[in-house]
Chain A
Amino acid sequence: MTADTKFNPLRKGLLEFLILQIISADKVYVADMMKRLQETDFATQEGTLYPLLSKMRREEFVDYEWQESDSGPPRKYYKLTAKGKSQLAEFKDYWAYLNTTINKLGR
């Protein structure tokens, strides 16, 4: 458990990029994101997710559009902007680089 709590900041830092990754595949709304994350170690709650999404939107990595839903009020569907796409690519490159670095150091 101690290791787990130590990883908390790491997970928290990564959450933003995971969201970018989720959105990159298709337009999603928050409940979908939560469902996807629920199965991972990155399970999160609305209380965290909404402020984070609004921050990312302010930074122009994501945008949303309203879509009518069959069951209930219209939903916000998030999608990546061009800036978000390049940010995600950058992150993936960096993550690969980190991986190789860690592996190299281990030798």
Chain B
Amino acid sequence: MNTVIIINLNGNAFHLEEPGFQSLRAYLERAHAQLQDNPDKSEIMADLEQAIADKCGHFLRPHKNVLTAAEIDGVLKEMGPVETDGAAPAGATAGATAGATGGEQPQAGKSTAGPAPKRLYQIRQGAMLSGVCTGIAAYFNIDVTIVRILFVVLTVLTGGLWVLVYIGMMLVVPFANTGEEHAAAAGAPFNAQEVIDQAKKHYAEFKDSKEWRRHWRQQRREWRRRWHEGAYWWGHNLQRNVHQFSTGAGYGYGGHLGAALLIPFLAVFNALLFCLWIAAIVSLATTGAIFGWSMGGSIPLWASILILMFIYSAIARPLRHARRAIYFNTSGNNYLWFAAWYEILSTGVLILVCWFAYTHVPQVHDFFQHFAQNWSTMWNNLIDSFRHTAAHKPADSWLGAKISGVAAAASASAFLALRR
């Protein structure tokens, strides 16, 4: 089975199999290119189309109204490559000796096309910033990664001055927008067959990359599933234990009482955990160590904060599961009361802990006394850690800000993903 395409050849409709259509289109586009400077181009094209139509007509019968790809190829071979006088290869009449159907078609088009023009363009597809590197890679026909590495190395070696060269190229080198320009960027001859071949190649690459991406997505899903399963398993076990505990006395008053007793415990624990976590982050951000305990010098601040977030949600998550278990297992109708009870309790504990810390722990007291100053110290430390991490990149302030913004967004999204 094959897709059928309906075409109009000089006023005649034909049904062609899709591959046949491709070769016919390639033939006509090549003819078009060959006749580029011919004043009678449109007339010759019409003649050629009519001749093809005549030949195609021979293959049609009342019960056969589609032309196969093989038939089209036969017709095109019979037509022979379109040649203009100056450029015709010597084998123009080889048909007589080479068995009526000249085998010279593949070379056609190259005879006058000559070496294709090659120009430097910026190519947006696959670009990281502007497309300068992709354009250079296309121009020299090398891997874009090599160009990028080269640019980074040059930037480091020139102490950042190379960035100016990049910016200059960004402003001066034109963008490749049309198909011809893309072809010229790689120095590829631009004719129909090449375009089709390239499209096929790109499709194969695209399919490969899609497959790779699919593989990666599967992998990621598997990881997430395992993580969820692990966390769930932990939480679920807790949930079951809690469930058994809260329903140990049977549904009813005893069960409610058990849940009511468990909830304050959970609320207190959760509030304490939250306070501890915030305190750890603040301590880390201001002094570079958690309550005097350093995580190891090589881990940048932002990574440490991410790790803390991760640990927190790893502990808090099963607790949340347990809490929900209590809500749902005790009784549906009282669920809201339990939730409210829990929220009030945990907020109360939170306030209590804060007040206690503020009045009895001098460090906390000091921190809040000079809150604005401390806050800016923390923030600067965080930004510095990003900049330090990105030190091999140009340390322009805007770039630093950009990187830190991206990293903050990434960590926030990671945190949210964990909380889910």
Q: When chains A and B are docked, how far (Å) is the Cα of A89 from the Cα of B102?
A: 32
CB contact under 8 A between A12 and B90, given known A4-B97, A45-B78:
yes
Q: Is A15 an interface residue (CB 8 A)?
A: yes
Interface size class of B (residues with CB under 8 A): 35 or more
Decide yes or no whether A44 CB sits under 8 A from chain B: yes
User: Are A46 and B80 in contact, CB atoms less than 8 angstroms apart?
Assistant: yes
> Assuming A30-B51, A54-B44, is B88 touching A48 (CB within 8 A)?
yes
B94's nearest neighbour on chain A, judged by CB, is A8
Q: Considering only CB atoms and an 8 Å cut-off, how many residues of chain A contact the other chain? A: 30
Residues of A within 8 Å of B83, CB to CB, are 47-48, 51
* Interface of A: prevailing SS: helix
Identify A58's interface contact among B12, B40, B50, B100, CB under 8 A. B40
Say whether A8 contacts B57, CB under 8 Å.
no
Q: How far is the CA of A45 from the CA of B81 in the complex (A)?
A: 8
Stretch at the interface among B18-26, B31-39, B212-220: B31-39
User: Which residues of A, 1-52, contact B by the 8 Å Cβ criterion?
Assistant: 1, 4-5, 8-9, 11-12, 15, 30-31, 38, 40-48, 50-52
Number of A-B contacts (CB under 8 A): 91
Q: Across the interface, which residues of A come within 8 angstroms of B93, CB to CB?
A: 8, 11-12, 15, 41-44, 48
Q: Is the CB of A46 within 8 A of B38?
A: no
Tell me if B170 counts as interface (CB < 8 A to partner A).
Answer: no
Partner of B92, one of A8, A57, A73: A8
**Given A50-B51, A51-B38: A43 and B85 interface contact (C-beta under 8 Å):** no
Residue of B nearest to A14 (CB): B93
Residues of the A chain whose Cβ atoms lie less than 8 Å from the Cβ of B96? 40-43
Of B12, B31, B79, which one neighbours A45 at CB under 8 angstroms?
B79
Complex-state Cα separation, A50 to B100, whole angstroms: 18
Chain A residues, Cβ within 8 Å of B100: 38, 43
Given contacts A47-B79, A52-B85, contact A8 B35 (CB under 8 A): no
Our pick among B48, B54, B85, B108 for the contact of A31 (Cβ within 8 Å) is: B54
A55–B102 CA distance with the chains assembled, in angstroms: 23
Kindly report which residue of chain A lies nearest to residue B78, judged by CB atoms. Answer: A45
Answer whether residue B91 sits at the interface, using C-beta atoms and an 8 A cutoff.
Answer: yes
Interface residues of A (CB under 8 A from B): 1, 4-5, 8-9, 11-12, 15, 30-31, 38, 40-48, 50-52, 54-55, 57-58, 72-73, 76
21 pairs, A vs B, C-beta closer than 8 Å: A8-B93, A8-B94, A12-B93, A30-B47, A43-B96, A45-B78, A46-B48, A46-B79, A47-B79, A47-B81, A47-B83, A47-B108, A48-B81, A50-B44, A50-B48, A51-B34, A51-B82, A51-B85, A54-B38, A54-B43, A57-B40
Binding site for A on B (CB under 8 A): 11-12, 31, 34-35, 38-40, 43-44, 47-48, 50-51, 54, 57, 78-85, 88, 90-97, 100, 102, 108
Which 8 A-B residue pairings sit nearest by Cβ, starting from the closest? Answer: A45-B80, A47-B80, A43-B96, A54-B40, A8-B90, A47-B82, A46-B51, A50-B47
